[in-house]
Amino acid sequence: MKWIKLYIGSAGAILLAAALERFIVATGHVQALALPEPMLGIPLRYAVLAVAILELIGALICLFGRQISLQLGWVAWLATNYVVYYIGLLSMHGHPQATCIGSLTDPLYLARGTSGILTGSLPLYLLFGGYSAMFWSWRLARQAKAAQFHKMSCPACGVHIRFDGRNLGQKIPCPHCQKSLTLRKPDLLKMACYFCKAHIEFPAHAIGEKMPCPHCNMDITLKEPA
Protein backbone atom coordinates (compact mmCIF):
# COMPACT_ATOMS: atom_id res chain seq x y z
CA MET A 1 0.00 0.00 0.00
CA LYS A 2 2.99 2.31 0.39
CA TRP A 3 3.36 2.94 -3.33
CA ILE A 4 -0.36 3.62 -3.62
CA LYS A 5 -0.12 6.33 -0.95
CA LEU A 6 2.91 7.83 -2.70
CA TYR A 7 1.01 7.82 -5.98
CA ILE A 8 -2.00 9.53 -4.38
CA GLY A 9 0.29 12.19 -2.89
CA SER A 10 1.98 12.83 -6.24
CA ALA A 11 -1.38 12.97 -8.01
CA GLY A 12 -2.60 15.50 -5.45
CA ALA A 13 0.47 17.67 -6.03
CA ILE A 14 0.01 17.50 -9.82
CA LEU A 15 -3.67 18.39 -9.62
CA LEU A 16 -2.98 21.26 -7.21
CA ALA A 17 -0.33 22.71 -9.52
CA ALA A 18 -2.65 22.29 -12.51
CA ALA A 19 -5.54 23.96 -10.70
CA LEU A 20 -3.47 26.93 -9.55
CA GLU A 21 -2.07 27.46 -13.02
CA ARG A 22 -5.52 27.25 -14.59
CA PHE A 23 -6.82 29.84 -12.12
CA ILE A 24 -3.98 32.13 -13.24
CA VAL A 25 -4.91 31.51 -16.86
CA ALA A 26 -8.66 32.04 -16.29
CA THR A 27 -8.09 35.38 -14.56
CA GLY A 28 -5.79 36.65 -17.31
CA HIS A 29 -6.63 39.16 -20.02
CA VAL A 30 -5.73 37.12 -23.10
CA GLN A 31 -8.30 37.65 -25.86
CA ALA A 32 -8.36 33.93 -26.69
CA LEU A 33 -10.16 33.28 -23.41
CA ALA A 34 -13.29 34.91 -24.86
CA LEU A 35 -13.41 32.45 -27.75
CA PRO A 36 -15.77 29.46 -27.47
CA GLU A 37 -14.22 26.24 -26.31
CA PRO A 38 -14.43 23.86 -29.33
CA MET A 39 -16.02 20.91 -27.54
CA LEU A 40 -18.13 22.51 -24.81
CA GLY A 41 -19.21 25.59 -26.75
CA ILE A 42 -18.74 27.94 -23.77
CA PRO A 43 -16.12 30.70 -23.47
CA LEU A 44 -12.68 29.22 -22.94
CA ARG A 45 -12.28 31.24 -19.73
CA TYR A 46 -15.23 29.44 -18.11
CA ALA A 47 -14.05 26.06 -19.37
CA VAL A 48 -10.59 26.59 -17.89
CA LEU A 49 -12.14 27.80 -14.63
CA ALA A 50 -14.44 24.77 -14.41
CA VAL A 51 -11.54 22.36 -14.95
CA ALA A 52 -9.50 24.24 -12.34
CA ILE A 53 -12.27 23.78 -9.76
CA LEU A 54 -12.49 20.06 -10.48
CA GLU A 55 -8.72 19.72 -10.24
CA LEU A 56 -8.66 21.65 -6.97
CA ILE A 57 -11.34 19.36 -5.52
CA GLY A 58 -9.34 16.33 -6.65
CA ALA A 59 -6.15 17.76 -5.14
CA LEU A 60 -7.82 18.38 -1.78
CA ILE A 61 -9.28 14.86 -1.76
CA CYS A 62 -5.89 13.33 -2.55
CA LEU A 63 -3.91 15.44 -0.08
CA PHE A 64 -6.33 15.46 2.84
CA GLY A 65 -8.76 12.60 2.21
CA ARG A 66 -8.82 9.33 4.12
CA GLN A 67 -10.66 6.98 1.77
CA ILE A 68 -8.25 5.46 -0.72
CA SER A 69 -11.06 4.25 -2.98
CA LEU A 70 -12.47 7.80 -3.24
CA GLN A 71 -9.04 9.29 -3.89
CA LEU A 72 -8.14 6.80 -6.62
CA GLY A 73 -11.61 6.97 -8.14
CA TRP A 74 -11.45 10.77 -8.42
CA VAL A 75 -7.98 10.71 -9.98
CA ALA A 76 -8.95 7.99 -12.46
CA TRP A 77 -12.14 9.87 -13.38
CA LEU A 78 -10.26 13.12 -14.02
CA ALA A 79 -7.53 11.37 -15.99
CA THR A 80 -10.11 9.57 -18.11
CA ASN A 81 -11.75 12.90 -18.92
CA TYR A 82 -8.37 14.36 -19.89
CA VAL A 83 -7.79 11.56 -22.38
CA VAL A 84 -11.35 11.66 -23.74
CA TYR A 85 -11.07 15.43 -24.17
CA TYR A 86 -7.73 15.03 -25.95
CA ILE A 87 -9.11 12.39 -28.32
CA GLY A 88 -12.22 14.51 -28.93
CA LEU A 89 -10.13 17.51 -29.96
CA LEU A 90 -8.04 15.38 -32.31
CA SER A 91 -11.20 13.95 -33.90
CA MET A 92 -12.39 17.54 -34.50
CA HIS A 93 -9.00 18.39 -36.00
CA GLY A 94 -8.39 20.75 -33.12
CA HIS A 95 -5.17 21.43 -31.25
CA PRO A 96 -5.01 19.96 -27.71
CA GLN A 97 -4.77 23.19 -25.78
CA ALA A 98 -4.61 21.83 -22.25
CA THR A 99 -4.10 18.30 -21.08
CA CYS A 100 -3.00 18.86 -17.49
CA ILE A 101 -0.64 21.72 -16.58
CA GLY A 102 0.19 23.09 -20.02
CA SER A 103 -2.30 25.51 -21.59
CA LEU A 104 -2.87 27.64 -24.70
CA THR A 105 -2.39 30.78 -22.61
CA ASP A 106 0.24 29.22 -20.33
CA PRO A 107 1.81 32.08 -18.34
CA LEU A 108 4.61 29.80 -17.14
CA TYR A 109 5.45 28.55 -20.64
CA LEU A 110 5.34 24.94 -19.47
CA ALA A 111 3.83 23.65 -22.71
CA ARG A 112 7.01 24.06 -24.72
CA GLY A 113 10.03 21.86 -25.38
CA THR A 114 10.98 19.14 -22.93
CA SER A 115 8.74 20.59 -20.25
CA GLY A 116 5.82 20.38 -22.65
CA ILE A 117 6.49 16.70 -23.29
CA LEU A 118 6.67 16.00 -19.57
CA THR A 119 3.51 17.92 -18.75
CA GLY A 120 1.73 16.32 -21.68
CA SER A 121 2.51 12.87 -20.29
CA LEU A 122 1.07 13.67 -16.86
CA PRO A 123 -2.51 12.70 -17.81
CA LEU A 124 -1.22 9.28 -18.87
CA TYR A 125 0.60 8.98 -15.56
CA LEU A 126 -2.61 9.82 -13.71
CA LEU A 127 -4.66 7.49 -15.93
CA PHE A 128 -2.55 4.35 -15.80
CA GLY A 129 -1.40 4.96 -12.24
CA GLY A 130 -4.96 5.52 -11.04
CA TYR A 131 -6.43 2.40 -12.60
CA SER A 132 -3.41 0.28 -11.63
CA ALA A 133 -3.67 1.46 -8.02
CA MET A 134 -7.43 0.81 -8.00
CA PHE A 135 -6.89 -2.73 -9.27
CA TRP A 136 -4.11 -3.39 -6.75
CA SER A 137 -6.19 -1.95 -3.90
CA TRP A 138 -9.14 -4.14 -4.91
CA ARG A 139 -6.88 -7.19 -5.01
CA LEU A 140 -5.48 -6.50 -1.54
CA ALA A 141 -8.99 -5.98 -0.16
CA ARG A 142 -10.12 -9.27 -1.69
CA GLN A 143 -7.15 -11.11 -0.20
CA ALA A 144 -7.83 -9.57 3.22
CA LYS A 145 -11.46 -10.66 3.02
CA ALA A 146 -10.48 -14.18 2.04
CA ALA A 147 -8.04 -14.32 4.96
CA GLN A 148 -10.95 -13.89 7.37
CA PHE A 149 -12.23 -17.36 6.47
CA HIS A 150 -10.72 -20.66 7.58
CA LYS A 151 -10.99 -24.27 6.46
CA MET A 152 -10.91 -27.40 8.55
CA SER A 153 -11.75 -31.08 8.13
CA CYS A 154 -14.61 -32.65 10.02
CA PRO A 155 -13.11 -35.10 12.55
CA ALA A 156 -15.91 -37.58 11.81
CA CYS A 157 -16.35 -37.60 8.03
CA GLY A 158 -13.23 -35.74 6.89
CA VAL A 159 -15.17 -33.32 4.67
CA HIS A 160 -13.70 -29.81 4.45
CA ILE A 161 -15.67 -27.03 6.12
CA ARG A 162 -15.20 -23.32 5.38
CA PHE A 163 -16.21 -20.88 8.10
CA ASP A 164 -15.88 -17.25 9.16
CA GLY A 165 -12.94 -16.57 11.45
CA ARG A 166 -15.27 -14.78 13.87
CA ASN A 167 -16.86 -18.17 14.68
CA LEU A 168 -13.64 -19.77 15.93
CA GLY A 169 -14.22 -21.89 19.02
CA GLN A 170 -17.94 -22.39 18.42
CA LYS A 171 -19.48 -25.85 18.38
CA ILE A 172 -21.67 -26.67 15.40
CA PRO A 173 -23.06 -29.80 13.75
CA CYS A 174 -21.10 -30.82 10.68
CA PRO A 175 -23.17 -29.76 7.63
CA HIS A 176 -22.45 -33.17 6.06
CA CYS A 177 -22.59 -35.82 8.79
CA GLN A 178 -24.26 -33.74 11.54
CA LYS A 179 -21.62 -34.75 14.11
CA SER A 180 -20.80 -32.06 16.66
CA LEU A 181 -17.46 -30.34 16.11
CA THR A 182 -15.55 -27.29 17.31
CA LEU A 183 -14.48 -24.76 14.70
CA ARG A 184 -10.70 -24.39 14.84
CA LYS A 185 -7.91 -23.04 12.70
CA PRO A 186 -6.28 -25.66 10.49
CA ASP A 187 -3.33 -25.81 12.88
CA LEU A 188 -2.04 -28.83 14.75
CA LEU A 189 -3.91 -29.73 17.93
CA LYS A 190 -2.17 -30.67 21.14
CA MET A 191 -3.03 -33.17 23.85
CA ALA A 192 -1.20 -34.96 26.65
CA CYS A 193 -0.61 -38.70 26.55
CA TYR A 194 -2.72 -40.51 29.15
CA PHE A 195 0.25 -42.61 30.24
CA CYS A 196 3.45 -40.54 30.04
CA LYS A 197 1.81 -37.07 30.05
CA ALA A 198 4.02 -35.98 27.14
CA HIS A 199 2.53 -33.55 24.61
CA ILE A 200 1.42 -34.83 21.22
CA GLU A 201 0.59 -32.73 18.16
CA PHE A 202 -1.80 -33.94 15.48
CA PRO A 203 -4.09 -32.50 12.74
CA ALA A 204 -7.74 -31.92 13.54
CA HIS A 205 -8.93 -34.53 11.05
CA ALA A 206 -7.13 -37.24 13.10
CA ILE A 207 -9.41 -36.80 16.14
CA GLY A 208 -10.82 -40.19 17.14
CA GLU A 209 -8.01 -42.24 15.59
CA LYS A 210 -5.87 -44.64 17.61
CA MET A 211 -2.09 -44.48 17.44
CA PRO A 212 0.93 -45.39 19.55
CA CYS A 213 2.28 -42.50 21.62
CA PRO A 214 5.55 -41.33 20.00
CA HIS A 215 7.08 -41.02 23.46
CA CYS A 216 6.01 -44.11 25.43
CA ASN A 217 4.64 -46.20 22.53
CA MET A 218 1.38 -46.90 24.39
CA ASP A 219 -1.78 -47.01 22.29
CA ILE A 220 -3.91 -43.88 22.76
CA THR A 221 -6.98 -42.36 21.13
CA LEU A 222 -6.56 -38.85 19.81
CA LYS A 223 -9.14 -36.57 21.36
CA GLU A 224 -10.07 -32.94 20.97
CA PRO A 225 -8.26 -30.78 23.56
CA ALA A 226 -10.53 -29.67 26.41
Please tell me the predicted confidence (pLDDT) of residue 10: 93
Domain locations in the chain as residue ranges = 2-147, 150-186, 188-226
Task: Judge residue 66's burial from the number of C-beta atoms within 10 Å of its C-beta, 0-12 exposed, 13-18 middle, 19 or more buried.
Answer: exposed
Instruction: Check pLDDT > 60 for residue 111.
Output: no
Highest mean pLDDT among 89-93, 98-102, 144-148: 89-93
Residue 224 in contact with residue 189, Cβ under 8 Å? Answer: yes
Q: Which of these ranges, 35-44, 140-149, 193-202, 213-222, has the smallest mean pLDDT? A: 140-149
Please tell me the predicted confidence (pLDDT) of residue 103: 42
